[in-house]
Structure 1
Amino acid sequence: MEAAPTPAPAPHVLVVPFPAQGHALPLVDFVALLAARGLRLSVVTTPANLQLLSPLLAAHPAASTKGCGPGQFPAFMQAFAALREPILAWVRAQPDPVVAVVADIFCGWAQPLAREIGAAGIVFSPSGSGDEFSVAFPSIPGAPSYQWREMLLMYRNYMAGALEEQVGESVRQNFLWNVEEESWGFVFNSFRALEGRYLDQPLEDLGFRRVWAVGPVAPETDATGTRGAGGQEAVGAADLSAWLDAFPDGSVVYVCFGSQAVLTPAVAAALAEALERSAVPFLWVVGAESSGVALLRHAAVGWFVTHCGWNSTLEAVAAGVPMLAWPMTGDQFVNARLLVDEARVAVRACAGGEAARAVKEGGSSLADLEGLVQEIRKLG
């Protein structure tokens, strides 16, 4: 009789989290997904962070951990990089080779380590691509924090050195002139009921200068788009207003992303499908100028799907229409936070719906996960 073939050992993967909960927890969750698919995992941790692995060890008792001190990292990234040599010695002492090293994006030193041991180096980012960290503003009331991709593109380009030196310095000096001795005060297109907490406490960065909120500065418009100050009627607004007259009060969803935001065909198709499946009457204005937002004042409009540009924000607040916030760039993320978390006149659009679909059977994230596991098995 032939002996049954010995099953091949599971591929051995070394995991190097970064010792901060916002980074370590998502990576540990990812490790659990890999362990559930039969991979052998060794996770580098510190005594202070060992408790983060308790749920993982309870669910997968065969998983192993590698404890490395110290528990505190006064100079986070630099200090943690000192673990490279002990980890390398531990890896070389293992009976079966490590075929892949999955390391947090803040642990870049693990990538040359992977190359040295002949393993595949895999970078794990706890957030989306191009969104590696957040920026906090502790001096602003409420101490808001924004993801890197939510910062102004000009600022991101400047910090990344993507602007020519002369251009970058010109941009920097332009803003410094606003907050240095050259300026006397600040006037904002806003009003105190919306942003009183920020207006009453001028920031140190502004030199504690006087600030005035004088908005909304745009003249009022009626539902046909006619400006109260005698402006011209917006093209087509009267016809659209007449179309809205046929619907009950508050029954129509108004969709407009301003004149500059352009949805990709796939996103536009998904939004169109969602609107159709909702069975709610909607009006979707594409490439509209700001005057087209006057339709928000029509009694039939009950919700506004918006990119949270400031002009649209003020129009909606003035019209008393609640918003579905879909920020896309620039100050829109700051505006969305103000509307959703503080003024509470908006809710985030698409919060979790697409994400839930991605990790289910047939979803894109589940397919990527299975594909990754198969590639790791090939390495073994």
Structure 2
Amino acid sequence: MNAHSNPAAAAAAGTNPHFILVPLMAQGHMIPMADLACLLVDNGGLVSFITTPVNAARISSTLAGVRSSAIPIRLVELRFPAAEAGLPAGCENLDLLADYKLHKPFVEVFPLLADQLELYLRHQIPAANCIVSDNKHAWASSIARKLRIPFIIFHTPSCFYLHSTFSIKRHNIFDRLKDDFEPFFLPDIPQRIQMVRPQVERWLDSPTWEKLRGECYAAEEAADGVIINTFEELEPWCVERYGIATGKKVWPIGPLSLHNRETETRESATSIEAAIDAERIRKWLDDREEGSVVFVSFGSLARNPISQLIEIGSGLEAAGVGFVWVVKEVEVRSSTEAERWMDQFERRSESEKKGIVIRGWAPQTAVLSHPAVGGFLTHCGWNSALEAICAGVPMATWPHFADQFLNERLVVDVLGIGVAVGATVPLKPADEERKDAVVMRGAVANAVVRLMDEGEEGEGRRRKAREFGEKARKAMDKGGSSNEYLKGLIAHVIGVTL
């Protein structure tokens, strides 16, 4: 075996491949890319992690351990052109945008980072061997082509989502529909799964995004391959069919969160208040019976108005099970009414020892791994879904937007480890026009009761969830499928750039 077919041997021979990672500035994209950086370094690679000042401060704790090692991760800060996009200073991440209407100018300003990145790459020692870019950074493809560097797309959604949306586009499904809510079956999959257009539309499918959509499609066409944060045993036929359909090399090298599972700061919480909340949650869970608690969290971008918060809380009370509910501070601070209702709900829940409410942040991976947690009420973002799968915890799925509806179908219909709450209408993050609840307390209570069911149906979901959790851990271990794909990725990059 020569040095170029083995990452460890390559490192010893002084041929460590230098990866340039360019994540989308959104927590759901930054965190898995940071985990990828750590994984590459631990397997003999060098990494330059391209970001901006605000995002560097947020992600530095995740990278700290590896950055202090002998082969550091270079955290490269580019000036974010907020003024050019008409954005307030410091708005360098999607979850910092106060209005959904700012998403388009935010994304459209990304190409203005190109000159800074090219200047960095031209002066690097050792030279870059590969650019790994989020698919929204189509401009990075042009730099790779100009500098003759291999270019690889990093996808954060499930392979099921990628395969489904690619097939919908390939078969021109949208062109055949009479209206947005005419049902259709997903093409090119073994299951009969019915969707409507708004549930599968991507950002790039919006009418005003034609230019960026074309650029992203062209960048993917030009890419050497794609990295996906999944593992082969979770969606085997999807990985195979997606690779055949796209004609690309596909490297499923997840779940990436497992590689960094010891780092509690992954979730970007370093404050004293967050540490106090984490200890409070742990103590509360320690007093609960195994599998008796449902964890409730909807990610960093989704926003619930007071009417929806009331329905969630009332549904949890009606279900009669213990809960840990994470409520974003921006939701509670949205009105005096929300503050007052949440205060009353918190006092009532804690006095009756039914549950606790956490405002802001909770250590999600640690909570899901606690023996007392038996279910997860989630927005079905892929990072959250993967963390539940790794912990062997079944889910009640409540998708809001983007890839979440297709992730729900994977969790519920394909894997059989979830219960759908019943959300059917996509909701944009930070949508100020939304005032009313879209899922009522009865549906919330019913989903939670089914999720925590101790009968044959519930035990079947729990058994499958545990099995997938074990497969996830084996995939990331030495000799596992994801570990082998990672070796193949590094060997490919070294071979191309010799």
Which residue does 2:10 correspond to in 1?
A: none
Alignment of 1:287-326 (within 5 A): 287=328, 291-326=363-398
* Alpha-carbon shift at residue 286 of structure 1 (Å): 1.8
More helix by share: 2
- Please provide the CA RMSD for this pair: 3.4
Any conservation in 2 of the 1:186–1:209 contact (CA below 8 Å)?
Answer: yes
Mapped partners of 1:356, 1:285: distance in 2: 20
Correspondent of 1:175 among 217, 237, 242: 217
Q: Which residue of structure 1 aligns with residue 289 of structure 2?
A: 248
- Cα distance, 1:212 vs structure 2: 1.1
TM-score w.r.t. length of structure 1: 0.51
User: How far apart are residue 348 of structure 1 and its match?
Assistant: 0.8
Mapped partners of 1:310, 1:280: distance in 2: 26
Q: 2:228 aligns with which of 166, 176, 188?
A: 188
- Code of the residue aligned with 1:251 in structure 2: it is S
Please name the residue that 2:238 is paired with: 198
Q: What letter corresponds to residue 320 of structure 1 in structure 2?
A: G
Residue 277 of structure 1 aligns to a residue in which SS?
A: helix
Q: Show the 5 A alignment for 1:111-260.
A: 131-142=180-191, 144-158=193-207, 163=208, 167-178=209-220, 180=221, 182-203=222-243, 205-206=245-246, 208-218=247-257, 219-221=259-261, 226=264, 235=275, 236-260=277-301
CA apart distance, 1:140 = 4.1
Is 2:380–2:399's contact at 8 Å kept on the other side of the alignment? yes
Q: Is the 8 A contact 1:294 1:315 kept in 2?
A: no
The gaps in structure 1 that reach 5 residues or longer are 1-104, 107-129, 358-380
Residues 197 and 153 of structure 1: CA distance in aligned 2, closer, same or farther (over 3 Å) = closer
Q: How does 1:53-132 map to 2 (within 5 A)?
A: 131-132=180-181
Is the 2:312–2:440 contact (alpha carbons within 8 Å) kept by the matching residues of 1?
Answer: no
Q: Residue 290 and residue 327 in structure 1: after superposition, are their counterparts in 2 closer, same or farther (change >3 A)?
A: farther
Query: Quick one: distance in 2 between partners of 1:290 and 1:217?
Result: 19
Counterpart of 2:215, as a letter, is Q
Residue identity opposite 1:247 in structure 2: R
Alpha-carbon contact 1:290-1:312 (below 8 Å) kept? no
Shift of 1:137: 3.8
Cα deviations across residues 338-365 of structure 1 (Å, max 9, x unaligned)? Answer: 10011111111248995999xxxxxxxx
Q: Deviations over 1:59-104 (max 9, x none)?
A: xxxxxxxxxxxxxxxxxxxxxxxxxxxxxxxxxxxxxxxxxxxxxx
Contact 1:141 1:198 in 2 (8 A): no
Q: Distance in 2 between matches of 1:137 and 1:341?
A: 13
Assess if the C-alpha contact under 8 Å between 1:339 and 1:345 holds in 2: yes
Q: Residue 286 of structure 1 aligns with which residue?
A: 327
Work out the CA distance in 1 between the residues paired with 2:230 and 2:254: 4
1:193 deviates by: 1.9
Q: For 2:290 and 2:319, locate their aligned partners in 1 and report how far apart those are by CA, in whole Å.
A: 18
Q: How does 1:4-83 map to 2 (within 5 A)?
A: none
Distance 1:184 1:192 in 2: 20
Deviations 1:220-243 (A, max 9, x none): 446xx7369xx9696422221111
**Distance in structure 2 (CA, Å) of the matches to 1:209 and 1:253:** 40
Larger radius of gyration: 1
Deviations 1:22-61 (A, max 9, x none): xxxxxxxxxxxxxxxxxxxxxxxxxxxxxxxxxxxxxxxx
Counterpart code for 1:226: E
Q: CA deviation at 1:169?
A: 1.7
Q: Report the Cα distance in structure 2 between the residues aligned to 1:245 and 1:331, rounded to whole angstroms.
A: 34
Q: Is the 8 A contact 2:377 2:398 kept in 1?
A: yes
Out of 315, 339, 351, the position equivalent to 2:411 is: 339
Tell me, what secondary structure is at the counterpart of 1:254?
A: strand
Q: Percent identity?
A: 32
Q: Is the 8 A contact 2:293 2:373 kept in 1?
A: yes
**Contact (CA 8 Å) 1:303, 1:324: kept in 2 or not?**
yes
Distance 1:279 1:346, change over 3 A: same
**Alpha-carbon distance between aligned partners in 2 of 1:217 and 1:263, rounded to the nearest angstrom:** 29
How far apart are the structure 2 equivalents of 1:171 and 1:196?
Answer: 28
Asked if the contact 1:136–1:146 (Cα under 8 Å) also holds between the matched residues in 2, the reply is yes
Aligned residues: 218
Query: 2 CA distance for matches of 1:292 and 1:306?
Result: 11
Q: Report the 3-state secondary structure (helix = DSSP H, G, I; strand = E; otherwise coil) of the residue aligned with 1:336.
A: helix
- Pairing partner for 1:271 from 312, 315, 321: 312
